[in-house]
Structure 1
Amino acid sequence: MTTVKTLLGLPGLRLRPRAGAELLDRTVTRIYVTELPDPGRYLSAGELVLSGLLWWREPGDAEPFVAALARSGAAALAASGADSGGIPDDVVSACARHRIPLLEVPADLSFSVITEQVVLALAAASDSARKRLLAAAEAPVETLLERASAELGLPCWVLSAFGRVVAGTTPLPMPAVEVVRRHAGREPGPLTVVPVEGRHAVPWLIALGGPLSTAQAELAEELAGLVGVTRARATQPEAELPGEVRVVALRTEGSDESRDVLRELLPGGTLIESTGDTSYAATGRWPDSATGELSTAEPLLRANRILCGVSDPAPRAEGREIARYALEAAARRAGRVAVVEAGDVAAHRLLLAGAPDGLRAALRRRVLGPLLAYDAEQHTDLVRTVRVFLECSGSPTRAAKALHVHVNTLRYRIGRAGELLGADLTEFTDQLDVYLALRAGDQPGG
């Protein structure tokens, strides 16, 4: 890492601090020569700004120039005296006020010599930084980040596409979900994000606390490669899960990412089976944040939709079947991410979700056919009457109130519907068959 103090030690430059002597540990990433009175639009963080002060004419001229350096995060200003009269006090005081280290360049020293030596120093530091980072290639992610942060002079984090912080050198200054969202939408933000290399379906991202110079960007890419190797090398032991478990069925429509997505979602879970787009895993705990995490990662995946079904705590084989039914219920819901937990869905809906569309349609026609035909011919709505009656637990009084009809009218309609269906709608078993047939015609997600 090259700092302002490093430049003071370069042979032959003879640079002398005039302001900001306490700030000489700032990292220098590149050099920029300018004589513009306000160079702000051309500056970037970490630059050593080199100027002959040709823009300075009178006291007050230094303020906009030095303020622009401070706003950009410049590392320091190296300046030669204006018209060989030495650096004006106006420039010295502005640098002190804005906390910009000021280095005086000898009048007999060419800017080309300074530029050459600084560029060589930066190149040597970059090569050394790369070698030091590679020396930590076998270390854990946390150690790699600490080493990279020291070389880059910036805080670093590794984030999962789910919006989780895998590791970091300091607390993340904004929600990880927001960092991932901005990266997925290619929106600018205060952090620089570099994808971690590797073949994992659920990507990791490296976030760095500021804009990068060319040398820093190269080192960040090196870090991304090393983190990718470390991730691939790491193996997460599958947990021993005796007794009842929650089984999770996950489908990535249009891709074979289900296995990787499920493993990232449930670290330590036990993979039961995987067939490419659909995988099952057992877990001791289903995270409350799972739906949000899947929604965060979805834009970074190849899948058209992510569907997930979760069982109640149950023996593994039983849980797998419940998860399968819950997964089919999720498939009938709208949206690019749909998660159904069995405990939140009525049992009859889980059973119907597991039935193919053709079977559902056949059940509806077989049980309700005469009633559907009668309604179509007579322009009545006995189907709705029967449904409301059953949803009111077979109570004529409650159903009549819900339909805004007299209770005797309700009884007549239920009797007529029973005749058409060949069923006694006051008997529980007949009620159950008819209600399932009614629900079999519900729209997805209903």
Structure 2
Amino acid sequence: MFTLGALVRTLSLELRVLVPGPPGVMEAEVTWVHTTELPDPSNYVRERELVLTNGLWIGQVTPAEFVASMKRAGAAGVMFGLLAATPTTPRELVDACREADLPLLEISPRVPFTAVSETVAAMYAEERQSVLVGMVRRGDALARAISRGAGASGVLQVLRRDHDLPLAVVDRMGRLLAEAGARLDDEQLQAVARGLARRPPALELELGPTDRATLFLVGAVGDVDAALICLRPVSALDRIEQDALEQAARFLSLEVAKQQAVQAIELRFASELLEMVLSGGRRAAEVPGRLQAFGVDAGGPLAVCAIAFAEGEAATLPGLAEVVGEFFVTEGVPVVVAGGTQDVVAVLSWRYPEDGLVSLAERLAGAVARRFTGRRPVVGLGGVADDSAGLREPLTRSRETCRVLRRSRGGPVARTFAELGTHRLLLGLQDAGALRGFADVVLVPMREHDVRRGGELEVTLRAFLDHDGHWAATAASLHVHVNTLRNRLSKITELTGRDVSRTEDRVDLFLALEADAMS
């Protein structure tokens, strides 16, 4: 980049400013120089070029017409070269430039226009060299920051040495990885996460009534994993700043890839831990050492919880295990988190009363729901083991409880194994298709009858079961005579093939209603 001011300060060009133009224009960027003697060169002059002329067009057009053509082209200014025939710049040209507020420079007859072109070329070469040297220097600094473990914060520190910009690094889950000179609240972080989830991802975002941010995408293996955020619109960033931010984003990709590799290793080790717990035998002897490696006391009380999304949605999503782990770190609870396709399991140290686990699990579900907007997480708790040797039962129970909660419509987001009714637990362990088929076989004939006749057989059945088979109490709750109740229950027996007076048939009817609610 060069400016009119930089040319004027080059004493060897012997330039004199006749018309300075509007404030600041002398230091504005000029793209190149253009020599012309055409009476109207507006079709050939590019925007922000400096026009060099000896005025040979005088006599064909007036200076005012020539200047008007320069304004149409968006020229940066005019440089008039003095000759023996024109030892001074024409007054009409000076007046026209002053009237149009277009900068006008005068160059000595001793200096050819080629000297100006050479000076400009030298300025560009020097600038380019400076940019390349800066990129190499910055690249070395970025590499050192990452190799020394400074992470994303170290990358931002390197950037801030050269550019005073408000910066942050945010991953696709909306987690703040680092910040320097910027402060993003939870709502802004989630806006970034939504922007990164778009296809294609957003490159500029509104983060508030007055805040517009530019995103420089960070990808580890093709996908967008995070973004380097500059709290400035791209229009406010010059080319050098944009180049520096793009360079830093590429180095951040290395950092993200490293973090992902570490997380993958940790998740694999955690998954192996669950296999050790479930397999028992000789492998169970390795459990204490594996827990200690994650900072979890294997000799103290241990709780297990399993989390997944409600049925009708994917049971887990990428990033769920990381969000769960982050929650427990925030809570100050040592934990091992293992992710899978059906649930995410957390094994944690727990030296508090067991009833406090439900409150913790509810907070966990809330944290996950905030990260995965529009989804309903559920948490199953399997109880507390005295030490690592007793983990198998709490692990199995937590996953079974989570599976049951996934199929429940509404209700608590977190429950313990002990809070589940035995029948509900058994139903939760069955295939969803089998549950639906069983419920339909038992209930559909009765429901079709209700639709055809406008009856209330299903309502009657539910009331009868809710009142533990007491005829008088059921009839009173329905506001019908006992004989009417008997007639309705006889019809239910006829349609379903289940006699409400028989315990085993009554169990079938009850389970069919429960299976219908869960499927």
TM-score if structure 2 supplies the norm length?
A: 0.54
1:303 matched residue in structure 2? none
- Aligned CA distance change for structure 1 residues 330 and 365 (closer, same or farther; 3 Å): closer
* CA–CA separation in structure 1 for the residues paired with 2:52 and 2:312: 63
Cα contact 1:371–1:382 (8 A) shared by 2: no
User: 3-state DSSP class of the match of 2:191?
Assistant: helix
Q: 2:220 maps to which residue?
A: 198
Most deviating of 214-223 and 129-138: 214-223
Aligned amino acid, residue 155 of structure 1: P
Counterpart contact for 2:307–2:379, Cα < 8 Å: yes
**Once the 2 structures are TM-superposed, how far is the Cα of residue 128 of structure 1 from its aligned partner?**
2.3
Is 1:314 aligned to residue 323 of structure 2? Answer: no
8 Å CA contact retained: 1:253, 1:277: no
Candidates 281, 285, 298, aligned match of 2:346:
281
2:259 aligned partner, one-letter code: R
Q: Distance in 2 between matches of 1:52 and 1:205?
A: 42
> Deviation per CA, 1:41-93, whole angstroms, max 9, x where unpaired?
x99xxxxx765599x979xx9xx99xx9xxxxxxxxx966665779978999x
Alpha-carbon distance in structure 2 between the residues aligned to 1:277 and 1:195: 31
Return the alpha-carbon distance in structure 2 between the equivalents of residues 393 and 318 of structure 1: 33
| Higher CA-based Rg | 2
Partners of 1:388 and 1:34 lie apart in 2 by 92
1:436 maps to what in 2?
511
Distance 1:91 1:343, change over 3 A: farther
Equivalent residue number for residue 180 of structure 1:
193
Q: How many residues align?
A: 389
State the partner residue of 1:326.
Answer: 402
Cα distance in structure 2, aligned partners of 1:256 and 1:421: 36
Q: Distance in 2 between matches of 1:114 and 1:263?
A: 51
Task: Name the CA distance, whole Å, in 2 between partners of 1:31 and 1:431.
Answer: 89
How do residues 402-413 of structure 1 correspond to structure 2 at under 5 angstroms?
A: 409-410=484-485, 412-413=487-488
SS in 1 for 2:366: coil
Query: Which one has a larger percent helix, Structure 1 or Structure 2?
Result: 2
Contact 1:33 1:51 in 2 (8 A): yes
Match of 1:220 in 2: 248
Shift of 1:376: 8.9
Q: Is the 8 A contact 1:310 1:340 kept in 2?
A: yes
Q: Distance in 2 between matches of 1:351 and 1:392?
A: 23
More relative contact order, 1 or 2 (CA 8 Å, 6+ apart): 1
Q: Would you say the 8 A contact 1:31–1:119 is kept in 2? A: no
* Residue 226 of structure 1, CA deviation: 3.6
Partner of 2:457: 382
Which of 284, 289, 303 does residue 245 from structure 1 map onto?
303
Deviations 1:113-133 (A, max 9, x none): 433333333233222222222
Deviates more, 1:148-157 or 1:227-236: 227-236
Contact 2:214 2:229 in 1 (8 A): yes
Pair 125,390 (structure 1): closer, same or farther in 2 beyond 3 Å: same
- 2:145 is paired with a residue whose SS is coil
Q: Gaps spanning 5+ residues in structure 2: where?
A: 35-45, 54-62, 82-88, 206-212, 267-292, 349-359, 385-390
Confirm or deny: 8 A CA contact 1:165 1:176 kept in the other structure. Answer: yes
CA distance in 2, matches of 1:374, 1:218: 65
Classify 1:354/1:313 alpha carbon distance in 2 versus 1 (closer, same or farther; 3 Å): closer
Q: What is the distance in 1 between the residues matched to 2:313 and 2:379?
A: 21
Does residue 342 (structure 1) correspond to residue 415 (structure 2)? The answer is: yes
CA contact (8 A) 1:160 1:203 kept: yes
- Which whole-Å CA distance do the structure 2 matches of 1:119 and 1:440 have between them? 72
Q: CA deviation at 1:219?
A: 1.0
State the partner residue of 2:158: 147
Instruction: State which of 130, 139, 143 in structure 1 corresponds to 2:139.
Output: 130
Partner Cα distance (1:331, 1:360) in 2: 11
Q: Distance in 2 between matches of 1:123 and 1:16?
A: 33
- Aligned pair in 2 of structure 1 residues 329, 33: CA closer, same or farther (>3 Å)? farther
For 1:256 and 1:346, the matched residues in 2 are separated by 20
CA distance in 2, matches of 1:34, 1:313: 77
Q: 1:20–1:406: structure 2 CA closer, same or farther, 3 Å change rule? A: farther
One-letter code aligned to 1:326: C
Equivalent AA in structure 2 for residue 164 of structure 1? R
Question: How has the CA–CA distance of structure 1 residues 377 and 407 changed in structure 2, closer, same or farther, with 3 Å as cutoff?
Answer: same
Q: Deviations over 1:382-429 (max 9, x none)?
A: 23421244457764256415xxx567534542466468633339x8x9
SS in structure 2 at match of 1:311? strand
Instruction: Indicate which of 143, 168, 176 corresponds to 1:165.
Output: 176
Q: CA deviation at 1:291?
A: 1.7
Q: Does 1:121 align with 2:130?
A: yes
1:414–1:120 Cα change, 3 Å: same
Once residues 333 and 106 of structure 1 are traced to their aligned partners in structure 2, the CA distance between those partners, rounded to angstroms, is 84
Match of 1:266 among 325, 330, 336: 325
CA distance in 1, matches of 2:476, 2:176: 54
TM-superposed CA distance for 1:180, in Å, is 1.9
Q: CA deviation at 1:349?
A: 4.9
CA distance in 1, matches of 2:252, 2:177: 14
Contact 1:159 1:207 in 2 (8 A): yes
Whole-angstrom distance in 2 between the partners of 1:34 and 1:287:
64
Secondary structure, in 3 states, of the residue corresponding to 2:394? Answer: helix
